[in-house]
């Protein structure tokens, strides 16, 4: 992004290598099937590494062999640029790995059983968090505090739906947050109440969740460090060398955790750290004092919200939901205030990403971005729309026209596709996760997971984008199959395009001489597999900065 000094260092390093006539490589990976992401040199059989940089990508690697060069024979395995995830909540994901997991629960009874098993071993009276539940998995009935009150002991509880836009609190948590039948809905949120008694059921939607979050104590640094360690190990095991973190605790606690890890050389992959857009002035001051970070950890990005989610019936549409005919969703943030923040933050050169799910939300944010472009012409904005899930026909072309990045998560398509028809009519659904249409307009489509909302797994994401087969296997030919894309297009969205979306296209995302040595080795050749077999592919090796950070053998 703004790291011109570091970019110059990389260039000088490469010039040094060039002037010294083929310096010896530290390691050369040979007999590989390499997809480089570089249109000028798309395929190769070998890659040579010196320190943290790529020396050479091609077939004739012998001149880079020195007396101490290690050669690793990949025996025909596929090697690709290190995967980049465009949208994670990294510390939250690490926290979920160590806490209660309700993601695979299929009934009320199973929900209660899993919860009881967890609380039986929970000590003291600390908050119980995590969750990842999905009420659609058991028919759509929302859980209530009565499900968990009698088995949660002295623990306050707030367990989130898997999309993060809705959560369930027990009575202790509601009391601590002073939420009663008289408590009004906050702007951009809803306290779900029993229609007969008016009492809170325990379910809170979108901004109403902040009523609970404000009484939950911040985690201790040791807890955050442990969450980062778990999250990093998970990411590396799935072939990721870089993630774009949208934050869990407003972004600032997250960034400080990453900075602390980097200072002690315990940050094993690259992170682009975003903070909440409401704090744009703080970030502006921070950047002026500390710069933009470096190739391992950088910042300068802001994350905002227009609306909620489809699963929580809070995404903002023009027309009402089929199963909630009185609702068109929510504007999670006051739109006048959000517009002001975007225009102001863009004026000082900060990078802006905004969550938008519904068609109305996407049209609104595209309009604000276009306005910012007119007010600040000539800037390299690279505005991002996080999710860009449901688009009007007119919106599809506006991304490429405005140089706006659709930052999408393909696994959501095969998950939401199981039940989305109960929410929306087919006219709206046919422009849901419009991967192919966006690529056809030359939009810089990027992919990720939204972990822990969906698995931190690029293979699952590629499978979803290429097949669009819903998880219930009821759409073997693909859910709205006109939007299926090729394996190569999906790979590009997980590598080349993601690097561009983080202002790192000259450093990562491709395999070419002079760039940082980040790559991943796969067990299968994705180009040779039947689409339905892609998901069987395993990650064999993850290399970050020229060093092996994960190996399946270890």
**Helix (H) or strand (E) run with residue 405 in it:** strand 405-408
Identify the domain containing residue 125 by its residue range.
Answer: 101-213
In a domain, residue 299? The reply is no
Range of lowest pLDDT (46-50, 148-152, 243-247, 303-307): 148-152
Evaluate whether 232 touches 212 at the Cβ level (below 8 Å).
no
pLDDT at 382: 98
Where does the pLDDT of residue 144 fall: very low under 50, low under 70, confident under 90, or very high at 90 and above? Answer: very high
Contact 303, 246 (CB under 8 A): yes
Q: Could you tell me if 109 and 192 lie in one domain?
A: yes
537 versus 119: which is more confidently predicted?
Answer: 537
Say yes or no: 53 and 114 in one domain: no
d(CA 276, CA 302): 6
Read off the pLDDT band of 218 (50, 70, 90): confident
pLDDT at 443 over 60: yes
Query: Do 121 and 200 belong to one domain?
Result: yes
Dump pLDDT digits (tens) for 348-388: 999 999 999 999 999 999 999 999 999 999 999 999 999 99
Is the per-residue pLDDT at 132 higher than 60?
A: yes
Provide the domain count of the chain.
Answer: 2
Residues with Cβ < 8 Å from 513, sequence gap 6 or more? 14, 54, 55, 56, 57
Judged against a pLDDT cut of 60, whether residue 141 lies above it is answered with yes
pTM confidence score: 0.89
pLDDT of residue 17: 47
Among candidate residues 179, 213, 247, the one where a domain is terminated: 213
Residue 480 counted as domain residue: no
Residues 109 and 208 in one domain: yes
| CATH of residue 152 | 3.10.310.70
Of the residues 186, 213, 240, the one at which a domain ends: 213
CATH number at residue 531: 2.30.40.10
CB 379 within 8 A of CB 329: no
Q: Measure the CA–CA gap between 282 and 331, rounded to whole angstroms.
A: 24
Q: In what order do the strands lie in the sheet with 519-522?
A: 43-44, 33-35, 78-81, 519-522, 539-544, 547-551
Q: For residue 293, is pLDDT > 60?
A: yes
C-alpha to C-alpha distance for 539 and 494, rounded to whole angstroms: 15
**Average model confidence (pLDDT) across the chain:** 94
Domain-embedded: residue 226 = no
pLDDT (0 to 100) of residue 122: 82
One domain, residues 158 and 69: no
Q: Does residue 105 share a domain with residue 49?
A: no
Q: Look at 2-6, 165-169, 331-335 and tell me which has the smallest mean pLDDT.
A: 2-6
Within 42-188, strands assigned E span: 43-44, 46-50, 53-58, 70-73, 78-81, 83-88, 100-101, 130-133, 158-161, 166-169
Q: Which residues contact 21 (CB under 8 A, 6 or more apart)?
A: none
Residue 286 lies in a domain: no
| SS3 labels along 179-232 | CCCCCCCCCCEEEEECCCCCCEEEEEEECCHHHHHCCCCCCCHHHHHHHHHHHH
161 DSSP β-pair partners: 133
pLDDT tens digit sequence for 419-432: 999 999 999 999 99
Cα of first residue to Cα of last residue in the chain, in angstroms, is 35
pLDDT in tens, 151-182: 999 999 999 888 888 999 999 999 999 999 99
Cα 248 to Cα 246: distance, rounded to the nearest angstrom: 7
| Average pLDDT for 338-351 | 98
User: Of 213, 246, 264, which residue sits at a domain end?
Assistant: 213
Is 46 found in the same domain as 106? no
Other C-beta atoms lying within 10 Å of the C-beta of residue 263: 10
For 62-85, letters b (16+ CB in 10 Å) and e give eebbeeebeebebeebbbbbbbbb
Residues 6 or more apart whose Cβ sits within 8 Å of residue 9:
none
pLDDT at 251: 92
Same domain, 60 and 130: no
More confident site: 140 or 269: 269
Q: Is 177 exposed, middle or buried, given 0-12, 13-18 or 19+ CB atoms closer than 10 A?
A: buried
Is 122 contained in some domain? yes
pLDDT of residue 119 exceeding 70: yes
For a pLDDT cut of 70, what percent of the chain falls above it? 96
Give the residue from 63, 77, 70 showing the smallest Cα distance to 20.
Answer: 63
Q: How far is CA 524 from the centre of its chain?
A: 24
Same domain, 106 and 72: no
**Residue 247 belongs to some domain of the structure:** no
Reported as a single tens digit per residue, the pLDDT across 518-552 is: 999 999 999 999 999 999 999 999 999 999 999 99
* Together in a domain, 55 and 125: no
Q: Are residues 107 and 183 in the same domain?
A: yes
Asked if residue 204 is part of any domain, the answer here is yes
In a domain, 7, yes or no: yes
pLDDT for 380: 97
For residues 255 and 257, what is the distance between their CA atoms, to the nearest angstrom?
5
Residue 71's beta-bridge partner residues?
Answer: 28
**pLDDT in the model for residue 219:** 86
Same-domain status, 28 and 105: no
H helix or E strand, kind and range, residue 351: strand 351-356
């Amino acid at each position: 992004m703004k790291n011109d000094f570091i970019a110059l260092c990389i260039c000088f390093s490469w010039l040094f290598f060039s002037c010294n006539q083929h310096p010896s490589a530290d390691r050369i990976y040979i007999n590989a099937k390499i997809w480089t992401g570089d249109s000028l040199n798309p395929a190769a059989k070998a890659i040579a590494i010196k320190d943290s940089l790529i020396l050479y990508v091609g077939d004739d690697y012998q001149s880079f062999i020195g007396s101490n060069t290690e050669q690793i024979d990949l025996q025909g395995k596929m090697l690709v640029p290190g995967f980049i995830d465009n949208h994670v909540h990294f510390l939250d994901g690490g926290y979920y790995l160590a806490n209660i997991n309700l993601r695979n629960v299929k009934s009320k009874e199973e929900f209660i059983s899993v919860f009881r098993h967890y609380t039986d071993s929970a000590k003291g009276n600390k908050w119980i968090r995590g969750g990842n539940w999905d009420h659609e998995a058991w028919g759509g009935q929302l859980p209530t505090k009565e499900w968990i009150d009698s088995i949660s002991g002295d623990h306050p509880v707030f367990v989130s739906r898997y999309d993060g836009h809705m959560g369930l609190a027990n009575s202790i948590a509601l009391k601590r947050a002073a939420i009663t039948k008289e408590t009004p809905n906050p702007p951009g949120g809803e306290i779900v109440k029993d229609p007969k008694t008016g009492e809170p059921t325990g379910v809170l939607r979108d901004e109403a969740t902040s009523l609970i979050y404000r009484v939950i104590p911040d985690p201790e640094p040791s807890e955050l460090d442990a969450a980062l360690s778990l999250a990093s190990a998970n990411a590396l095991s799935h072939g990721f060398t870089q993630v774009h973190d949208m934050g869990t605790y407003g972004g600032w606690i997250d960034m400080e955790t990453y900075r602390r890890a980097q200072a002690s050389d315990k940050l094993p992959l690259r992170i682009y750290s975003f903070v909440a857009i409401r704090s744009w002035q703080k970030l502006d001051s921070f950047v002026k004092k500390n710069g933009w970070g470096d190739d391992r950890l950088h910042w300068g990005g802001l994350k905002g919200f227009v609306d909620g989610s489809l699963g929580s019936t809070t995404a903002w549409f023009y027309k009402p939901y089929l199963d909630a005919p009185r609702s068109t969703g929510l504007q999670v943030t006051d739109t006048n205030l959000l517009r002001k923040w975007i225009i102001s933050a863009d004026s000082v050169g900060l990078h802006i990403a905004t969550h938008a799910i519904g068609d109305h939300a996407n049209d609104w944010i595209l309009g604000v971005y276009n306005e910012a472009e007119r007010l600040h012409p000539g800037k390299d904005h690279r505005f991002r729309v996080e999710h860009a899930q449901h688009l009007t026909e007119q919106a599809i072309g506006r991304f490429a026209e405005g140089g706006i990045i659709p930052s999408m998560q393909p696994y959501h398509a095969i998950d939401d596709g199981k039940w989305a028809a109960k929410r929306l009519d087919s006219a709206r659904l046919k422009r849901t996760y419009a991967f192919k249409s966006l690529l056809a307009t030359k939009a810089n489509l990027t992919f990720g997971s939204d972990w822990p909302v969906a698995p931190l797994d690029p293979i699952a994401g590629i499978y979803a984008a290429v097949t669009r087969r819903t998880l219930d296997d009821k759409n073997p030919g693909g859910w709205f199959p006109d939007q299926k894309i090729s394996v190569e297009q999906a790979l590009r969205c997980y590598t080349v395009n993601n690097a561009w979306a983080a202002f790192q296209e000259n450093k990562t995302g491709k395999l070419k001489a002079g760039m940082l040595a980040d790559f991943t080795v796969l067990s299968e050749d994705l180009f040779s597999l039947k689409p339905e077999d892609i998901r069987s592919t395993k990650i064999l090796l993850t290399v970050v900065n020229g060093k092996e950070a994960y190996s399946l053998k270890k």
